[in-house]
Amino acid sequence: MAHIKQTIGNVEIFVIHDAEIALPVTRSFPDVPVEAWAPYQERFPEAFSGADSMRVHFECYLVRSQGQTILVDTGLGSSNTNPGTVINVGGGTEGELLSHLQSAGFQASDIDTVFLTHLHPDHVGWNVTRSDAGESVTFPKARYVGNQADWDAFDTPKDSEVFGYDWWADTMTPLKRLGVLELVTGETQLTSEITAIPTPGHTPGSMSLAITSAGEKAFIMGDVFHGPAQVTESDWVFHYDVDPDLAVQTRNRMLDRIEAENAAMAVCHHSGFGRVIRVEGRRYWQAM
């Protein structure tokens, strides 16, 4: 499988595909009438799999900067690492992160830092591996960086019920038990080229990576956007946004910044990098 690779100054970024599903647009965006999607289905056919169905990717990003190898999110996971995942989120889909990591030329042991944009189940699926010997971290040399506000929000039995299974016990509490979890607040530098920045709304502790190298800029943004249409329709609310108003504010703030800085952008549920362009005054996603 060909791997998308993007270079931002001296930083190398590989898109590592974990999984893909088809989801009805009316389930992802219950307040948006189905006919409002038509112009985006025409403009971005690759993002849809039918008249009312969007292709939802589960992508991870491997970032190399200044000798550090950073994995952004760990995807949907598999029934081995996370027994509930394939049934409840992925509709029977098994994540393929590890084999795609390998075919891109990397091993799990190459990862220095696992950066978790937020702590929803489809972004932490491969955190932990289970075998007869017990549970262990899937990326044995990595520290795992997550956000304190997401930890505080989801570390309750109630929130496991939202997704129908206890992803938290499967994928997050083991990190704490094994002593590899680092919870951060505010801006946090990962290398001098890469900074984690707060982009809350989708979840309270959602973070993005701001990458600046040799005069070039990019943002990897987790679930600030769910597909290219939201670059134009930034007030469309995604079903799982925890604080929809704040999510809209964050989306608009990031669009202003990406446009002003002429930055590249990537998200987790649509594949590849894009830029923000203007057509007749409106913003649109343009794939790079």
Which residues in this chain contact Zn ion in the complex, by CB under 5 A? 120, 122, 223
Q: Which helix (H) or strand (E) holds 43?
A: helix 38-43
Q: Which is nearer to Zn ion, 17 or 120 (CB)?
A: 120
Q: Kindly tell me which of 167 and 191 has the beta carbon lying closer to Zn ion.
A: 167
Closer residue to Zn ion in complex, CB, 59/122: 122
Q: Can you say whether the dihedral through the CA atoms of 233, 44, 97, 141 is positive or negative?
A: negative
The distance of closest approach from Cβ of residue 149 to Zn ion in the complex, given in angstroms and rounded to an integer, is 14
CA distance 20 to 76: 9
**Shortest Cβ contact with Zn ion: which residue?**
120
Q: At its nearest, how many Å lie between Zn ion and the CB of residue 121? A: 8
Between 11 and 25, CB nearer to Zn ion? 25
Pairing of strands 53-65, 48-50: antiparallel
**What are the structure tokens assigned to 205, written together?**
């502790």
C-alpha to C-alpha distance for 202 and 223, rounded to whole angstroms: 7
For residue 188, the minimal CB distance to Zn ion (Å) is: 20
The type of residue at 34 is: V
* Residue 38: how many other CB atoms lie within 10 Å: 10
Q: How far is the CB of 117 from Zn ion (least distance, A)?
A: 8
Residues 6+ apart with CB under 8 A from 212: 9, 193, 195
Residue 130 pairs in a beta bridge with: 135
| Smallest distance from Zn ion to CB 179, Å | 26
Reading the block at residue 229, the tokens are 């249409």
Cα distance between residue 143 and residue 176, in whole Å = 11
For residue 288, CA distances in Å to 79, 113, 189, 223 come to 34, 27, 26, 19
Report, in Å, the least distance between residue 238 CB and Zn ion: 8
Stated length of the chain: 288
Instruction: Pick the closer one to Zn ion by CB: 18 or 122.
Output: 122
What distance in Å separates the CA atoms of residue 159 and residue 152, rounded to the nearest whole number? 11
Nearer to Zn ion, 24 or 140 (CB): 24
Least CB distance to Zn ion at residue 223 (A): 4
Which residue lies nearer to Zn ion by CB, 11 or 97? 97
